[in-house]
Chains A and B, each alone.
Chain A
Amino acid sequence: MITRRSFLTGTTGVLCGTAVLPAWAGLLNGLPFDSRSVLLLSDRPSPRFPGFGIDKTVKHRPLSLDIAADIASLEESELSADNHSALVAFGTPASIFALRTQLSSRWRVVVRGMHGARDPSLHELNAPASLTPSLARALVKARNEDDFTRSLLALDVHSIDVFNQKQMSRLHQGQRWVGPPRASLLALTRRQA
Chain B
Amino acid sequence: MDRILPPSVSEEAFREFVASAQKIVGKDYVYLDLEWELLSYNDEYATRPKELHQASAAVAPANVEEVQSIVRAASQYGVPLWPISTGKNFAYGGPAPRIAGAVVLDLKRMNRVIEVNEKHAYAVVEPGVSYMDMYRHLQNIGSKLWIDPAAPGWGGMLGNLVDHGAGYTPYGDHLLMQCGMEVVLADGTITQTAMGALPGSSTTHLYKYGLGPWADGLFTQSNFGVVTRIGIWLMPEPPGYTPFMITYDREDDLHEITERVRPLKLNNIIPNAATTAEMLWEASVQKQKRDYYTGKGPLPESARKKMREDMRIGVWNFYGAVYGPPPVMENNLELIRDSLVSIPGAKIYFDEDRKGDVGWEYRNKLMRGVPNMTEYNVMNWIPNGGHMDFSPISPVTGEDAMRQYNLIRDRVNRAGFDYIGEMLVGWRDMHHIFALVYDLQDEDEKRRAHALFGELIDAAAAEGYGEYRTHLDFMDKIAGTYNWNNAAQLKQRHRLKDSLDPNGILGPGKMGIWPKQMRKEES
Name A's B-contacting residues (CB within 8 A): 64-66, 68-70, 73, 92-94, 97-98, 101-102, 105, 108-109, 114, 117-118, 124, 163, 166-167, 180-181, 193
Contact = CB atoms under 8 A, between A and B. Distances in A.
A122 B57 CA distance: 35
A101 to B, nearest CB: 7
A167 B34 CA distance: 11
B132 A70 contact: yes
Contacts of B373: 64-66, 68-69, 98
Interface stretch (B46-54, B186-194, B376-384, B410-418): B376-384
A90 B360 CA distance: 26
A101 B386 CA distance: 14
11 contacts: A66-B374, A69-B153, A93-B384, A94-B377, A101-B40, A108-B36, A109-B39, A117-B441, A118-B383, A180-B380, A181-B380
Contacts of B378: 94
B211 to A, nearest CB: 40
A66 B377 contact: no
A122 B384 CA distance: 13
B29 to A, nearest CB: 8
The 10 closest A-B pairs by CB, nearest first: A117-B383, A69-B154, A65-B373, A94-B379, A69-B373, A70-B132, A66-B373, A94-B380, A94-B376, A108-B36
A191 to B, nearest CB: 11
Interface string B386-419: 0000000000000000000000000000000000
A119 to B, nearest CB: 9
A118 B94 CA distance: 26
Contacts of A114: 383-384
A69 B35 contact: no
Interface residues of B, number: 31
Interface of B: 28, 31, 35-37, 39-40, 44, 88, 90, 94, 130, 132-133, 136, 152-154, 288, 372-374, 376-380, 383-385, 441
Contacts of B377: 65, 92, 94
Given A69-B132, A94-B376, A167 B35 contact: yes
A98 B372 CA distance: 12
B215 to A, nearest CB: 33
A105 B385 contact: no
Contacts of B152: 65, 69
A97 B132 CA distance: 18
Contacts of A69: 132, 152-154, 373, 376
Contacts of A166: 35
A98 B383 contact: no
A93 B441 contact: no
A193 B133 contact: no
A66 B133 contact: no
Contacts of A193: 36
A193 B385 CA distance: 31
A137 B188 CA distance: 56
Contacts of B28: 105
A94 B288 CA distance: 12
A73 B40 contact: no
Nearest to B376: A94
Nearest to A67: B373
A92 B380 contact: yes
A64 B154 CA distance: 13
Contacts of A68: 373
A98 to B, nearest CB: 7
Contacts of A101: 40, 44, 88, 90, 94
